[in-house]
Structure 1
Amino acid sequence: MTELYPSMPGRLSRRSALRSAGGGALLLGFGLAGCRSAVSETGSAGQEGPAGPRRGGTVSVAINSDFTPSLLFAQSSQSYQHRLIYNTLTRYDDRLTPHPELATSWDYAADGRSITLRLRSDVTFHDGRPFTADDVIFAVKNLQNPARAAQLRSTAAVITGFDKRGDHELVLRLAHRVNNLFDLFEFMIITDRNSVEEALKGTRLNGTGPFKLTKWSPGSGLSFVRNDAYWLKDRPYLDAVEFRVVSQADALVSSLRTGQSQLSFQVPGRNLAVLKDHPDLTITPYDTGAGATYLGVNTTIAPLNDRTVRQALAYAVDRDRLLAQSLGGYGLASAAPWPKSSPAFTETGRTHYTHDPAKARQLLKSAGHTRLDLPLLHLALPGDTAVAESLQYDLKQAGVHVTLQPTDPATAQKNLISQKMPALWTMSHGFAQVQPSTLAVSAYPFNEARNTSKFHSAEYTRVVQQAWTSPATGAAAGRLRQEISDILLDEAFIIDLVIRGNVQIAARRLHGVTLNKFSYLDLDHAYLAG
C-alpha cells in the first residue's frame, strides 16, 4: 500500500508510482484490473474473445432494485450505473495504488497539506461543455454539502482551499493531512455543475463518461447509448447498455439463463449453484471485499445499550452456516469488517466471535435476561431475506426472538443515514476495501462522530482521528488499525458476519467488465464476442 506521507523529504509523484507499478503502460488505464483479483470459475474473467475486441451490440444488466436519484452521491447497492455516466479523478488497482482517470498526474506536498492535480484537457461533458478545474472544485464542494449524504463528506471537508493554475491544473489545500484522499478521488463522480439539481431528480444526468443516459423508467430500469465523443479513443466498444430491474430471484436467474440479460452482480448466493455449470455463463468472484453482511444494533434501545447483550448476539450467529446456506459459499465468515486484502485484516479478528449459543445464553443471563423480543429490519430482496431468516433462527437458539421487518432498499438506506433504524437490522456495508481509516470516518454504520447505532466513545473517536491523519503504513499505523479493530469487536455495535465481494455472472461472450472499489461498473473496454 502506498504511503501518502513519506518520511523522506519531497513529494509523492504520480510518475514514481508508475515506475513502481511497471511503467507507463498503465497511463490511460489499459489493462487495469480494477477491483478484480480473481478469475472466473470457468476461465479468465477478462480474456479477449477469439477474434479480439469488436464494436457494437447492447448489453443488458439485470439489477434487483431501481436507481434512486436522491442517493446519487451516496455509495449504495444502486451505484453500478455511476461509472457509465461519470468519470472519477483517479482509479485504484488491487494494491490501492491510484492510476489516472480525469487527473493525469499529481504531486503531494511533503507535509500532506496540499496536492497538485493536472487534469485532462480533451474531455467534454455529454452536452459538449469542456471539463475544467472548476468542475473538480464543484465536485468537492458538492460532497461537502450535508444534504448530499455522501459517506466521504468528512474527507471532502478537509479540502479548504482551491488554487487554479489555468483550466487544467489545480492545487487543493488541506486543513490537515489525511491518508484516504485517493479514496475520495475514486468515490467522487464528476457531475455537471449546471444541472446537479436535475440529476438529483433523475431528469438529466450529464457526465463525461462512456455512455449517455437516454431514459430512466422508474421501476423498470435505465437506458444508455454510446458517447461518441468519449475522451478515451475508440471506446467504448458497446453501442448501448440497458439496466433492467428484476427484483425476484427466480426471474433474475431465468433472465441470465435465457440470455435476456448478459450481466448481473445481484444473484442471491444460494441461487448461484444453478448457474455454475451453465455453458453460456461465467461466475467471477471479486475477492477484495467490496462489502460485508452485518447485524446492526441500536445502542440506545434497552437492553442493547448493554455491551454484554451485544456480545451475546455476536456469539449467537453461526457465520459458517450463514455463508454456506444463505450466500452460496461466496465470501469469508468473519467477526471483523476487514477483507483479506486489507492491511487491517487479522485471522484473530476474523475468528474473535465463534458460534457458541451456550455462551450467548450465559452472557444474556449474566445481564439479567433469558428471553428478548426485538424487531429485525432487512431489505425486501431474496438474498437479504435469506440472511435475515438465518439470523432469526440463530438468535432464537440463544433466547432472542426477532420479528422480521422487510423494507425496500431506498427506504432502508434513508433510515440508515438518518439514524432511524429499529433495535436490530441487517444490511451490507462497504468501505473496508479501501484505506482502513475510511471505514470509521465515512461508513454510516461505523462513523465515529455519528453512526447509525448511535454509539459514542471518546476512545473510539481518538483512535479513529489519529489513524485517519497519520501515514497509512508503518508500525504506528498497524497499532492504530489494531486498536480500531479491538474497539469494534469489544463494543459490538456493528456485528460483522461475512465479508462479501461482488459475484459477477456474465455471458461467456461478454469480455472486459470491471468494477472500481466502490462497485461502479466500468464498461470502457467491454465488448461482445461472436
Structure 2
Amino acid sequence: MNTLFLPPSPGPTRRGVLRAAGAGSALLTLAACRSAVSHSESDEVGASAAPRRGGTLTVAHGVDFTPALLFSQSSMSLPQRLVFNTLTRYDDDLRPQPELAESWEVSPDGTTVTLRLRRGVTYHDGRPFTADDVVFAVENLQTPERSAQLRSTAEAVTALDKRGDHELTLTLAHPVGNLFDLFEFMIIPDRNTVEEALTGDRLVGTGPFRFDGWRPGSLLTFSRNDSYWQSGRPYLDGVEIRVITQTDSLLSSLRTGQSQLSLGVVGRDAATLKDDPQFTITTYTTGNGCSYVGANTAVRPTNDKTVRQAIAWALDRERIVEQAYGGFALASAAPWPESSPVFTEDNRTHYRHDPDRARELLRQAGATDISLPLGYSASPGNTVIAEMVQYDLEQVGIRTELQPYDPANAQRRLISQEMPALWTMNHGFAQVTPSTLAVSAYPFNEAHNTSRFQSAEYTGLVQDAWRRADPLDEEALDLYQRIADVLLDEAFIIDIAVLDIVQVARADVRGVTLNKFNYLTLDDAFLA
C-alpha cells in the first residue's frame, strides 16, 4: 500500500502530481493562479487581528435552500459545510488535506483505498461518528434519487469493508482519477435522520454549527456546536443566512449593515464597493463556476452543429465579462480555468466575437427566420446575462424569447433534460480533476447530459480519461485535450466565461473560506 497523505507543500506549484512512492498512481494537484485576491487593504489589518469568540454572522444569499438538492452541488449548496463535514478537503493546489479522514492509503493499481477516520467526533445529537456513517454516505450517493453529480464515482465503489469503527477499505471496480473530488464533495449526514434532512425539517451532522430552522424564502439559522471536534472552534455563536433574491436588495443589505457577508453580489455591483473601506472584496479565481449557453440537440434548429457553432461565434464574451461581471471573470470559449492542465489559450479563444462568421454559418445551415426560447435561472445576475445573450443573438438574426425559471425549477429542468432549445446558466466541476466535468456535471455528462447530446467518441474519451490511476500522465493530458476538441467542435455547451467567485464582506469579518465545491466554511471565521 502506498500512502497518499502528505503534509502541505511549503509553497505553491503550478502543476504537480502527488505520487505514491514507487507507484504510477497519482492524485491530480493543480495550483490556483490566485486562490484569493483581496481588493482591500483591510485584509492586512485582518491578518494581524486575533480571533475573537462570539457574535452572529449574517450572510445574504440570492437563492433559497432546497433540501431535495442536499446531496447535489448547486447555487443552493452554501450551507452544506456549516452543518456537515466531508472526508477530505483540497488545499489551493488541490492536495487533499484531512477532515473526517485523518489519513489514507491507495493501492498501486488504484483499486483500493483505506481510510483511517478521526476519533472523538460526534453528531449534533451526541451519537459517535463511525465507519458506518461513511458506508452510508457512499451508498446514499449511489442512489439515483439523490441527483448527486458525482454518483458515477460513488458507483465505482463496489465494496466497503470496515476494520473496526474508525478504519475502512473501499474497493473500486476500476481506478478513478477523481476519487478525492468525491471525498470533498460528499457530505457525511446522520443516517438516522436523512429523510428529515431532505424535507428541511432536521439537519444533523458533525459540522461546526447546529441547524436551528428554516423559513422558506426567508431565513436559515444555525448555532454554535459546542462539541465540535476542532478544539475551540467555531468562534462564532451563530450564523443567519438571509434569502435576498433581488440584486439591488442584496447590495443594499450589505451597505446598510443588515448583512455582513455575501457571495452572490454581481461582479459589476461588487466593483462599486472596492474603494469603500467598510468592505473587503475577495475573489476566488480557481474556476468554480462558468457561465454558458446550452443547446438542446434534440430539437430544430439547435440539432444542427453548424447552428450551434454560429451561436458560439455570435457571443461577445469580452463585453459580457466587462459589463455583466465587472471584470471579475475570464472570457473563455472553454470551461477550464487557467489553473487547469486542460487550459490553453487556443481553447479559450477558439470562438471569438465574429457576427459575420456567425451569419455565414447560419446561411450555410439554411437557418433563417429563427425564433427560439431562451431559458435561464432567475437568480441575481443571471437576468442580465440572458438579456446580453439575447442581444448578441439578435445581431446575427436569431430572435429569442426569454423564459425565466426560479433557481430550484431551473435545477430540476437541468437534471431531467427539460430545457428548451437554448438556455443560459452557470456550471461547475471544471475546477477539480479534469475528467470530473464530463462524468459529473449535468450539462456535460457523457451518458445523460441536459443537451441530449450523444457521441460514441465523446463517451469513449471521457471514460478512458476518468478511469486512469494517474490523472496527469501524458496520456491523460492528451485525452483531456481530445475531450476539449469534441466540446468545442460540437458546441452543445457554449461557454462564455470562467467566473471569479466574488466574496463581499464587511470589514470586521475574518476567516471566511470556501471549499472547491462552493461550500461556505466558517470554522475559523470571527468578527473582529
TM norm structure 2:
0.94
The CA deviation at 1:215 is: 1.1
The CA deviation at 1:328 is: 1.2
Distance 1:364 1:185 in 2: 45
Q: Is the contact made by 1:159 and 1:175 (CA closer than 8 Å) also made in structure 2?
A: yes
- 1:213 paired residue number: 211
Distance 2:162 2:9 in 1: 29
Partner letter of residue 481 of structure 1? Y
The CA deviation at 1:11 is: 1.5
The CA deviation at 1:501 is: 2.4
Partner letter of residue 142 of structure 2? Q
The CA deviation at 1:47 is: 6.4
Alignment partner of 2:297: what SS? Answer: coil
Alignment partner of 1:74: what SS? Answer: coil
- 1:169 paired residue number: 167
Runs of 4+ off more than 6 Å: 33-36
Distance 2:226 2:379 in 1: 37
List alignment gaps of at least 5 residues for structure 1: 1-9, 23-32
Within a 5 Å distance, the mapping from 1:179-328 to structure 2 comes to 179-328=177-326
The CA deviation at 1:371 is: 2.6
The CA deviation at 1:21 is: 5.2
- 2:154 paired residue number: 156
Partner letter of residue 283 of structure 2? P
Partner letter of residue 485 of structure 2? D
- 2:426 paired residue number: 428
Distance 1:47 1:374 in 2: 52
- 1:97 paired residue number: 95
Distance 2:438 2:32 in 1: 24
Distance 1:415 1:301 in 2: 16
The CA deviation at 1:459 is: 0.2
TM norm structure 1:
0.94
- 2:452 paired residue number: 454
The CA deviation at 1:270 is: 2.3
Deviations 1:463-487 (A, max 9, x none): 0000001121121111011001000
Q: Is the contact made by 2:105 and 2:113 (CA closer than 8 Å) also made in structure 1?
A: yes
Distance 2:358 2:49 in 1: 59
Q: Is the contact made by 1:35 and 1:514 (CA closer than 8 Å) also made in structure 2?
A: no
- 1:477 paired residue number: 476
Q: Is the contact made by 2:88 and 2:101 (CA closer than 8 Å) also made in structure 1?
A: yes
Deviations 1:366-417 (A, max 9, x none): 0012331000001223400000000000000111100000110000000000
Q: Is the contact made by 1:512 and 1:526 (CA closer than 8 Å) also made in structure 2?
A: yes
Distance 2:140 2:68 in 1: 14
Q: Is the contact made by 1:257 and 1:278 (CA closer than 8 Å) also made in structure 2?
A: no
Q: Is the contact made by 2:67 and 2:200 (CA closer than 8 Å) also made in structure 1?
A: yes
Q: Is the contact made by 2:32 and 2:93 (CA closer than 8 Å) also made in structure 1?
A: no
Alignment partner of 1:325: what SS? Answer: helix
- 2:389 paired residue number: 391
Query: Paired residues, what number?
Result: 508
Establish whether residue 418 from structure 1 lines up as the match of residue 416 from structure 2. yes
Deviations 1:303-360 (A, max 9, x none): 1111111000000000000111111111000000000111111110000000000000
- Identity across the alignment (%): 63
Deviations 1:240-278 (A, max 9, x none): 100001111111111111111110010122222322222
The CA deviation at 1:12 is: 3.8
The CA deviation at 1:66 is: 0.7
- 2:4 paired residue number: 13
Distance 1:441 1:101 in 2: 25
Q: Is the contact made by 1:34 and 1:91 (CA closer than 8 Å) also made in structure 2?
A: no
Establish whether residue 493 from structure 1 lines up as the match of residue 484 from structure 2. no
The CA deviation at 1:507 is: 1.0
Alignment partner of 1:162: what SS? Answer: strand
Change beyond 3 A, Cα 1:34–1:135: farther
Distance 1:13 1:65 in 2: 38
Within a 5 Å distance, the mapping from 1:130-145 to structure 2 comes to 130-145=128-143
Distance 2:281 2:340 in 1: 23
Partner letter of residue 326 of structure 2? G
Distance 1:136 1:282 in 2: 38
Partner letter of residue 434 of structure 2? P
Deviations 1:56-100 (A, max 9, x none): 011100001110000000100010100000000000012111000
Partner letter of residue 180 of structure 2? F
Partner letter of residue 81 of structure 1? P
Change beyond 3 A, Cα 1:255–1:19: closer
Distance 2:386 2:129 in 1: 45
Partner letter of residue 140 of structure 1? V
List alignment gaps of at least 5 residues for structure 2: 12-30
The CA deviation at 1:13 is: 2.8
Distance 1:358 1:232 in 2: 59
Q: Is the contact made by 1:34 and 1:93 (CA closer than 8 Å) also made in structure 2?
A: no
Q: Is the contact made by 1:35 and 1:516 (CA closer than 8 Å) also made in structure 2?
A: no
Distance 1:293 1:68 in 2: 21
Change beyond 3 A, Cα 1:35–1:263: farther
Q: Is the contact made by 2:32 and 2:285 (CA closer than 8 Å) also made in structure 1?
A: no
Distance 2:305 2:32 in 1: 39
The CA deviation at 1:39 is: 2.4
Change beyond 3 A, Cα 1:20–1:504: closer
Change beyond 3 A, Cα 1:177–1:50: closer
**How large is the RMSD of aligned CA atoms in angstroms?**
1.5
- 1:27 paired residue number: none
Alignment partner of 2:374: what SS? Answer: strand
